[in-house]
Amino acid sequence: MAFEPFMQLFRGIQGRYSQGIGGIQNSHQMAYLRHLQKEMNKLDPMNVPLNELDVVVFDIETTGFFPEKGESILSIGAVKMKGSSIIEEPYYSLVYYDQPIPNNIVELTGITNEQVLHAPPITDVMMNFFQFVQNSTLVAHHASHEKRFMQYISLKLFKTPFKHRIVDTSFLYKIAEPHRHHVALEQICCDNQIPILDRHNALGDAKMTAQLWAIYVEKVQKLGCDTLQDVYNHFARI
């Protein structure tokens, strides 16, 4: 089945069952994810020129760092890009959470208990996120946090491994500027004259990271890294 017709079928199924029996909904969600994974297996993003690569730059806000200990995602923000060009089609959603959010997280993110009590459940948010991403490569700033939550949620909710490749922005900035090590998002944005807007908001951070990606894609291309495979090979030699 072609990808777009499958997407149209899935949207119809999702709408029909979103208020129905969870098991029915989950079976169709898992079927969609497995189909998406098959489509991804047909692609070779490692050898696509960086200036043609479809990526989704994303960020999450969470209650903590360890999903296996019960920490949860509170929001997801994402921006589509092709090469170094940002496509103005952002994705953002809060996530339902019925436990008290730690005060330090409320202060940091501005996300309140009342807001998340009226947000959609994580299953719906993740499926909408996957529909937004489709088979694009994911990008995140210091991606281990995002990767940990994505892997955990995919296995727990959908009983399938998380297959999307997530590229860490550090792969690019450590190639272009080898003196850099672990650099906070606001610091590297300041160094590149990117305005700090909506820090610790998932979409705000995703937008700033997208601007970083655009800058550093161009920088590594000038150093001879034309594809992700070139980036990985070069990074392995640092």
pLDDT greater than 70 at residue 15: no
Between 113 and 27, whose confidence is greater?
113
In this prediction, residue 7 carries a pLDDT of 46
Give domain status of residue 8, yes or no.
no
Total domains in the chain come to 1
3-state secondary structure of 91: strand
> What CA–CA distance (Å, rounded) separates 160 from 152?
10
| Confidence grade of residue 3 (pLDDT, cut at 50, 70, 90) | very low
The lowest-confidence range among 60-74, 92-106, 148-162, 218-232 is: 148-162
> What CA–CA distance (Å, rounded) separates 214 from 118?
35
In this prediction, residue 149 carries a pLDDT of 97
3-state secondary structure of 44: coil
Give domain status of residue 23, yes or no.
no
The per-residue pLDDT of the chain, averaged, comes to 87
CATH of residue 164: 3.30.420.10
Give domain status of residue 160, yes or no.
yes
Residue percentage of the chain with pLDDT more than 90: 72
Token pair, residue 97, equals 């959470």
Give domain status of residue 6, yes or no.
no
Nearest one of 235, 171, 236, 228 to 43, comparing CA atoms: 228
Interstrand relation of 85-94 and 73-82 (parallel, antiparallel or unpaired): antiparallel
